[in-house]
Structure 1
Amino acid sequence: MDFPPLREELRGLEPYGAPQLSLDVAPVQLNVNENPYPPSPAVVAEIASAVAQAASGLNRYPDRELVALREALAGYLGHGVRPEQVWAANGSNEVMLQLLQAFGGPGRTALSFAPTYSMYPEYARDTVTDWVVGAREDDFGLDLDRARALVEEVRPSVVLLPSPNNPTGTALPPAAVTVLCEAVGDGGIVVVDEAYGEFRRAGTPSALELLPRHRNLVVTRTMSKAFALAGARLGYLAADPAVCDAIRVVRLPYHLSAVTQAVALAALRHAPELLGQVDRLREERDACEAWLRGQGLSAAESDANFVLFGTFADRHAVWQGLLDRGVLVRETGPEGWLRVSIGTPDEMMAFRTALTEVLARVARVTPVTPVTRSQG
């Protein structure tokens, strides 16, 4: 018998993760959708002070109900969200895993629409939840009639809808969320993953607005992206209080450390400053889209802090060519496409320079119809 006695369906699998390369190899790192602007010295000092205060009580367990943090997150979200509607965990990854632990499991199904976040099927696998994936349209939106029909056929207990979608950046209109919440009914939950929600274009609504209408709707967020706190690992959700109570059944004891809670609370006190670079990143994103199209490429219209672009006969050759020039992007999404995170102006200039050189050497696929946002 092979050792260790790993579950059969896990044998031979590699751990999830984007390439992590040193700055010596890739000084321009645009592959994991981080905010390129670190917290200011004033925010760092506030966080350090909060952590020092928390450290004086590290002999005691943290608040397992996250009372102060849930109150602060509810205040940040607005839209009438109350503290009892909020839950937080170690990154939105743990939030998602807890949702699948509570509402998935053997004999139950999770559903999404590809291309979608590559961790979703792993959450399903790890919780022994069946995984079904439908297809998005050519513009990466959803055909609502087809999506409804698939939900009615599969009867999933969890529907996972990233909006803006990763890796395409596509935002879902409220009508799509409503259609799927109604199709799922009380037999399941619809999770709208708004990890990149703060980067939405003006006029693109949040699914938070729909919480009063759909008790089976869950909206997840993270402080990793717009808040520039990827290293803090803090994700959270807003939902009906009954959903939060259900998650508390499966959460690990004291799952969120006192230090993490202190960091998050300090950051929320400085939310306007930490979010101050969001507009700048939106402008860089829009400029990146326009430039890519000017090179004869396709670029998905993004509401996130990244752009999916292509298409290439050999996308790995393009990825490697960029890396050879010190620029690391992500080889993800549909075949032929690559994803670039939005960085500082200097980083984006380095990306454009490197890609211009690479494009002179590699074959492209015939350009497809320019991608625009779905109105469905």
Structure 2
Amino acid sequence: MTSLNDLPLRDNLRGLTPYGAPQLHVPVALNVNENTHGIPEDVAVDIAAALAAAIRGINRYPDREFTELREAMARYLGHGLTRQNIWAANGSNEVLQQVLQAFGGPGRTLLGFAPTYSMYPLLASGTGTRWIAGDRDADFELTPRRAVEWVNRVNPDLVFLCSPNNPTGTPLSLDVIAAVYDACDGIVVVDEAYAEFAPVGTASALTLLPGRERLLVSRTMSKAFAFAGARVGYLAADPAVTDALRLVRLPYHLSALTQAAAVAAFAHTPEMLRMVDDIRGQRDRLVTELRRLGYQPLRSGSNFVLFGGVSDPRGTFEALLAEGILVRDVGIPGHLRVTAGTERETTVFLDALEALGHA
């Protein structure tokens, strides 16, 4: 049987491991930061009706410019944005891949700040872009000074800033974003996949867009909108950026069914986001209770908590799994990550962790 090493794979892909969070069927899955609350029933009915209507025209190609969806996304984001500022694709990973296809590539570099989202270096490799991992300050924070030092050191063509950061949950100040943009001549992408879970009143990087034509703000419907299975990501940027992404997207890349489902979901934005406050509450509860149990949870602006003080992360992971609870070992020594689930799921996790004892 032929192995991967027997194939004429590109040199920069040899030795890499594909993205692969565990997909196990367990009663309490809290490992990939999904919204565990699910779609409200009345919203699901309307989405199903929109899909049924779209199927009647499935013999034709979809709207290549996904105009109605871009208008819905612009309305949702606000900040004076119009559909000319919006781009979308099959999940924010594809959005970021298209950004790298347009602005990265051989001879170009992408700077990020590790630990951060593990897909960034994989997307870089897939597009022939060199990944450079800068470091962070204490407790995985990132200050303007540290970020600008790295920009000045490597002069990157692109910078990816994860806000709040995954897998640490660490919030990112607008001062960092503005400082990086001013120090960099390239594209700056702010990945706001978890922005809706930030404390109420937290300013989005969207406020920085006016006058910054090289700044891109990426979002997803996977998390706050409980739409992970639908695969819808999007970004806001100067209209020239969306023109650039048209050069690399595949024809009709967003299916008619995807567009119909997403438009229907945005029509129910209040209902879809009603669960966000509850998730924030469970996240804050996790921070409080993990600290009580003797762990060191990091501050989080997302729907998950990274906590340190775990003497045996693999052993704790396996012990929780034996109880039907799946969390995430992200490879940071002494740490594990847990998604804020429903009140019941959070209780099951905390009770099981307390029963294990804290060495």
Give the TM-score range, shorter chain. Answer: over 0.9
Partners of 2:231 and 2:83 in 1: CA distance:
20
Q: For residues 19 and 270 of structure 1, what CA distance do their matches in structure 2 show? A: 31
Q: CA deviation at 1:170?
A: 1.2
Letter aligned with residue 336 of structure 1: G
Give the root-mean-square deviation of aligned CA atoms. 1.3
Once the two structures are superposed, the pairs formed by residues 32-181 of structure 1 within 5 Å of their partners are 32-181=32-181
Cα distance, 1:208 vs. partner? 0.5
Q: Does 1:8 align with 2:8?
A: no
> Within the alignment, does 1:192 sit opposite 2:162 as a pair?
no
1:232 aligned onto 2:235 = no
Aligned length: 356
* TM-aligned CA deviation for residue 273 of structure 1: 0.2
- SS of alignment partner, residue 343 of structure 1: coil
One-letter amino acid of the structure 2 residue matched with residue 142 of structure 1:
L
**Aligned partners of 2:110, 2:79: CA distance in 1, in Å?**
28
Q: Identify the residue that residue 322 of structure 2 maps to in structure 1.
A: 324
Alpha-carbon separation, structure 2, partners of 1:278 and 1:146: 32
Counterpart code for 1:99: V
Q: What letter is aligned with 1:17?
A: G
Aligned sequence identity (%): 56
Contact 1:331-1:339 at 8 Å conserved across structures: yes
Distance 2:181 2:292 in 1: 39
Secondary structure of 2:274's counterpart equals: helix
1:20 aligns to what? 23
- For residues 112 and 344 of structure 1, the distance between their equivalents in structure 2, rounded to whole angstroms, comes to 32
- Residue identity in the other structure for 1:21: L
| AA at the equivalent of 1:195 | A
Q: CA deviation at 1:359?
A: 2.6
**Mapped partners of 1:70, 1:12: distance in 2:** 39
Q: Which amino acid aligns with 1:279?
A: D
Output the CA distance in 1 between the equivalents of 2:38 and 2:151.
41
Whether the aligned pair in 2 keeps the contact of 1:30 and 1:328 (CA below 8 Å) is yes
Q: What runs of 5+ residues in structure 2 fail to find an aligned partner?
A: none
Does the 8 Å contact 1:313/1:336 carry over to 2?
A: yes
Post-superposition offset of 1:141 = 1.6
Q: Deviations over 1:286-323 (max 9, x none)?
A: 01101101111100111100000122232111111111
- Give the 5 Å matches for 1:236-247: 236-247=234-245
> Once the 2 structures are TM-superposed, how far is the Cα of residue 12 of structure 1 from its aligned partner?
4.3
Amino acid in the other structure paired with 1:305: N
- CA offsets per residue over residues 61-80 of structure 1, 9 Å max, x none? 11111111111100000011
Deviations 1:240-297 (A, max 9, x none): 1111110110001111100000000000000100100000110111011011011111
Normalising by the residue count of structure 1, what TM-score does the alignment of the two structures yield?
A: 0.92
- 8 Å Cα contact 2:74/2:81 also seen in 1: yes
Residue in 2 aligned with 1:256?
A: 254
SS in 2 for 1:250: coil
In structure 1, C-alpha distance between the alignment counterparts of 2:64 and 2:152, rounded to whole Å: 38
CA distance in structure 2 between the aligned counterparts of 1:3 and 1:230, rounded to whole angstroms:
35
SS in 1 for 2:140: coil
1:190 counterpart letter in structure 2? V
Which amino acid in 2 is paired with 1:7?
R
Q: Distance in 2 between matches of 1:195 and 1:146?
A: 23
C-alpha displacement of 1:333: 5.1
What is the CA distance between 1:11 and its match in structure 2?
3.3
- AA paired with 2:152? E
Report how far residue 358 of structure 1 moved: 2.0
SS of corresponding position for 1:110 = strand
Cα distance change on mapping 1:268 and 1:162 into 2, 3 Å: same
Letter in structure 1 aligned against 2:136: R
Residue identity opposite 2:146 in structure 1: R
Alpha-carbon distance between aligned partners in 2 of 1:17 and 1:88, rounded to the nearest angstrom: 24
SS at match of 1:191: strand
Q: CA deviation at 1:10?
A: 2.5
Q: 2:225 & 2:101 partners in 1: Cα distance? A: 27
Q: Is the 8 A contact 1:315 1:331 kept in 2?
A: yes
Q: Which of 299, 324, 334 is residue 336 of structure 1 equivalent to?
A: 334
Q: Distance in 1 between matches of 2:147 and 2:331?
A: 20
SS of equivalent residue, structure 1 residue 36: coil
| Residue of structure 1 equivalent to 2:307 | 309
Q: Which amino acid aligns with 1:111?
A: L
Q: Distance in 2 between matches of 1:333 and 1:179?
A: 30
TM-score of the superposition, structure 2-length normalised?
A: 0.96
- Residue type matched to 2:189 in 1? V
- Structure 2 counterpart of 1:373: none
Q: Is the 8 A contact 1:289 1:299 kept in 2?
A: yes
